[in-house]
Amino acid sequence: MEVKAGCDGYDVNQLPHTGKAKPGDIRQSSLFLTLKASPTPTASHRVYYLMFKSRAARNDLLMGLRALLADLQIHEGVGVSQILNLPEGNEILVPLSEVYQVLDFERRNYDRILLMMLQGNTDLKEKEDELLAMRDKVEKMILESKEKERVQLEDSTLIMQLSKKLETLLMDNEDLREHNERLTERLVSLF
């Protein structure tokens, strides 16, 4: 079983949504959790997408599931006593100081890994915050672009209307000049 944050391998906009979430809302992708289960004879591909109300709730479940999977792997793993297959009655004697050295070494490794995971968790949160900020910027830019396109469309419509009006005014002006010339010719012919 595999557990990942986000919609792994799927477009979040194509998933069903409820409540306030809009179909094109790109910010909601950080609310999903992907569970990939092992294939079975009846289902070769099993993927589950869970949507949460907040990233904190998603991250809590993500860490809990990962801890559970790690515990399962540790407890179901192969132990040293199973590898050696020592016959009954044969005991291996190891000096206690060597055992303490190995324990101290493993404890330091465990503490180091624990600190790395804690730091990685804050890094993950910071990167997700940055990602959300970038998505907000993209969304604002899209809205600004749509507004500019709308204004440009209105401007082009207004320009077309004004050009038609100018054309009709020029034609009327030409008609009036012709009419004025005819009237002037009549006046000249009468005198």
* pLDDT beneath 70: ranges in the chain: 10-27, 74-90, 119
What per-residue confidence (pLDDT) applies to 87? 57
What are the pLDDT digits (tens) for 46-66?
888 888 888 889 888 888 888
pLDDT at 79: 47
What is this structure's pTM?
A: 0.46
- Given this model, what pLDDT does residue 80 score? 46
- Confidence (pLDDT) at 85: 56
Three-state SS annotation for the chain: CEEEECCCCCCHHHCCCCCCCCCCCHHHHHHEEEEEECCCCCCCCEEEEEECCCHHHHHHHHHHHHHHHHHHHHHHCCCHHHHHCCCCCCCCCCCHHHHHHHHHHHHHHHHHHHHHHHHHHHHHHHHHHHHHHHHHHHHHHHHHHHHHHHHHHHHHHHHHHHHHHHHHHHHHHHHHHHHHHHHHHHHHHHC
